[in-house]
Amino acid sequence: MSNTSYKIAYVIAFCLTFPLIISCQKSAKNDALYMYEDPSGASCGYKNAKGQVVIPAGKYAACFTDTLYHYAFVFESEVGMIAIDKRGARLYEVFIYDNGPDPASEGLFRFMHGGKIGYADAQTGKIIIGPLYDGAFPFENGMAKVGINCTTTYENEHATWTGGLWKYIDRDGRTVTPLADENNKN
């Protein structure tokens, strides 16, 4: 096959696959929901790309996520900050860090359920490590320090975890180092 034949084959292959790539990107974008505020600006909700209301304004007191691809952080008056899916269903409570949702570290963020802490994927919101821990630090170098039976104490606006048994886990939730007693700070 000549050099020209390779170039022609490449151009044909590109022309056939480019529309497919573009349509997939548009499809993902069209599946997103976009935050809107009611006319008074007192509440928010989410609309699809066609402008149709999917999650009505007023359901949540505040929306912290502008574009909802898989999950969004919102404020529910009775519970506090939560994560919701595209139907507006509650996924879990958000672990609050420095007056906002826990920032992702190594692709995971902390969440709460039943008073316990777990880890969710920052891209999809999917639970990666279930809520098993009374204390849990962000992932760093592939590991996170987690505590069982520790106590949260508050001094002004700062929280501290004390006592309990602590260990390091990997991103699959497997123990990297065994349990040890120690006092820890948040």
Decide the pairing of beta strands 90-94 and 96-97.
unpaired
Sheet with strand 135-136: strands edge to edge: 135-136, 144-148, 165-169, 175-181
Domain extents in the chain? 96-186
Helix (H, G, I), strand (E, B) or coil at 173: coil
Distance of CA 119 to the CA centre of its chain: 9
142-169 per-position pLDDT tens digit = 999 999 999 998 888 788 899 999 999 9
Q: What is the pTM of this model?
A: 0.77
What CATH number has the domain spanning 96-186? 2.40.10
Both tokens assigned to 37: 């505020």
- pLDDT of 114 above 50: yes
